[in-house]
Amino acid sequence: MNALRRNLVALVSLLAVIGTLGAAAALAGDARPSGHHASPRPDHELHGTWLTTVQLSDAPPGVPTSFGALDTFLPGGGLVVSSSAPLPSTRGLAHGSWSHIGHRNFTATFTWFRFDASGQPVGTQRVTRRMNVSRSGSSFTGTDLIEVISPSGAVLATIHGTETGTLLPG
């Protein structure tokens, strides 16, 4: 039953991403694939899918200090994140938002649901990130503040990290 639940959670997450990306493209009126640009990106653009590497400076025991993720920044400020951290069945797909805060600088906040090994909800995890995009617009560096939150809303742990990202070609 747990395997069935994990597969169902993964399928629902995938369908949510497909629907979100399709809706964002329709709202933006842009039929180009994400990340496809004929010229350097304007300083205020972030949209596209980025392959990132996260380095945690104070990971709790049993949590890897480095892992990859895919971050899809949607036109208009939406954000969807998937992680390669172990045990994908213990977390949902992250959803959030991003905003331009100044010359090639951005902030993003996203949250995912957390589950225990039996598939029961155990709270959320919220990431707040500050990013600086390279002059070419094809990479970024950032700092992450990660909060592990109980179902009642109490912050159980705070973790810090850095992140680098590379824009995937369209």
- The per-residue pLDDT string of the chain (170 residues; one tens digit each, 9 = 90 and over) reads 444 444 434 433 443 444 444 434 433 333 334 444 444 556 677 889 999 999 999 988 888 899 999 999 999 999 999 988 766 667 788 999 999 999 899 999 999 999 888 889 999 999 999 999 999 999 999 999 999 999 999 999 999 999 999 999 98
Q: Give the structural domain span for 118.
A: 2-32+41-167
d(CA 24, CA 30): 9
d(CA 144, CA 131): 9
Q: How many domains does the chain have?
A: 1
Supply the CATH number for residue 99's domain.
2.40.128.120
pLDDT for 89 equals 61
pLDDT for 112 equals 92
pLDDT for 163 equals 96
pLDDT for 27 equals 36
Type and span of the H or E element at 10: helix 2-28
pLDDT for 152 equals 96
Pick the closest to residue 55 from 44, 68, 66 (CA basis): 66
pLDDT for 66 equals 92
Pick the closest to residue 130 from 46, 60, 40 (CA basis): 46
Query: Which residues make beta-bridge pairs with 98?
Result: 108
Helix (H), strand (E), coil (C) string for 76-125: CCEEEEEECCCCHHHECCEEEEEEEEECCEEEEEEEEEEECCCCCEEEEE
Whole-model pTM: value is 0.74
Task: Dump pLDDT digits (tens) for 53-88.
Answer: 999 999 888 888 999 999 999 999 999 999 887 666
CB-based contacts of 75: which residues, under 8 Å, 6+ apart?
A: 24, 25, 27, 28, 30, 47
Type and span of the H or E element at 24: helix 2-28
pLDDT for 60 equals 86
pLDDT for 1 equals 45
Pick the closest to residue 123 from 145, 95, 154, 146 (CA basis): 154
pLDDT for 33 equals 42
User: For residues 146 and 158, is the Cβ–Cβ distance under 8 A?
Assistant: yes
